[in-house]
Amino acid sequence: MFMSSFQPTISIIIPVLNEANYIKKVLLAISKNAGSNRIGEILVVDGGSSDETISIARDYGATVINSKKGRAAQMNVGAENATGEILYFLHVDSLPPKHFDLAIFHAFEEGNEVGCFQLRFNSDSNFLRFFAWCTKINHQICRGGDQSLFITNKLFHENNGFNENYIIYEDNEFIGRMYKLKPFKIIPEKITTSARRYEERGMVNLQWHFGMIHLKHFLGAKPQELHQYYLKHIAV
C-alpha cells in the first residue's frame, strides 16, 4: 500500500499588543510542549506595542510582524505571511498542552481541517471550572478564542479569514462560519488560559456580559454594537 511522505508544518500566529508580561511565558511553553520539529515558524503579530513585547519575542525565537491594531487584522496579517499548511492561532495568555502539535497533526491526518482544544483556567474557581468543562461540548456557543484555533491554510484563505469589522468577537464570528462549512474537531487535551480578566472584573459579572454579547450577536447586532457594549461593560 502506498503511504504518502507528506508531512505538513504548523505556523503559530500570536497577536499581541503590550504583552511583555506574557509573551515570554507562551513562547517558552511552545518550546517545552512541542513534540515534533514540524513547527515551521512562530509569528508574533504586533499591533503597535510600546513596551518590551517585540524585543522579548525576538529574543525567544519568534518572527515579529508589524500590523495595524486589531486582533482580526493582526491574525489576518499573520496568516498572509504564514508558510505552514496548518495555521494555529494562539492567544498570548493561553498555554498549549504537552505535544499540542502532535495532537493537531493527528486531527489533521484524520481528515479534520479546523478545530480547537478543550480549555482549563489557571484558577481553582468552581465557577470557571464549570465553564471550562463546557468546552468539551461540540457546539459553537461553547467556543472562544482562548481555546486556540487550528485550521488549514487553504480553508482559512478560501473563506477570507477573520472579519476585520469585528473589533471584538472576531474568533466567534469566524468559528460560526466554519461550523456551517466543516466538521469542527474538539481535541480533548486542554489548553491553559489565564483567568486574569475574570479576577479583575469579577467572574459572574464578566461571564454575564460575555453571555450578553453572544445573545446580541445571535439576535443580529452589528459588529460596532458589540464593540460599544464591550467598551461600556467590560473594557472600563
**Rounded-to-integer distance, Cα 118 and Cα 25, Å:** 20
pLDDT digits (tens, 9 = 90+) for 101-119: 999 999 999 999 999 999 9
The full set of domains in the chain, from first to last, is: 10-194 (3.90.550.10), 195-236 (no CATH)
pLDDT digits (tens, 9 = 90+) for 12-39: 999 999 999 999 999 999 999 999 999 9
pLDDT of residue 52: 98
Q: H helices of the chain, where?
A: 23-33, 53-59, 71-81, 100-109, 126-133, 153-158, 170-181, 196-201, 203-218, 223-233
Residues found in the chain? 236
Confidence of residue 42 (pLDDT cuts 50, 70, 90): very high
* pLDDT greater than 50 at residue 2: no
Kindly state the cell numbers that stand for 51.
513596551
pLDDT digits (tens, 9 = 90+) for 145-193: 999 999 999 999 999 999 999 999 999 999 999 999 999 999 999 999 9
Are residues 196 and 93 in contact, defined by beta-carbon separation less than 8 angstroms?
yes
Sign of CA dihedral 27, 29, 31, 33: negative
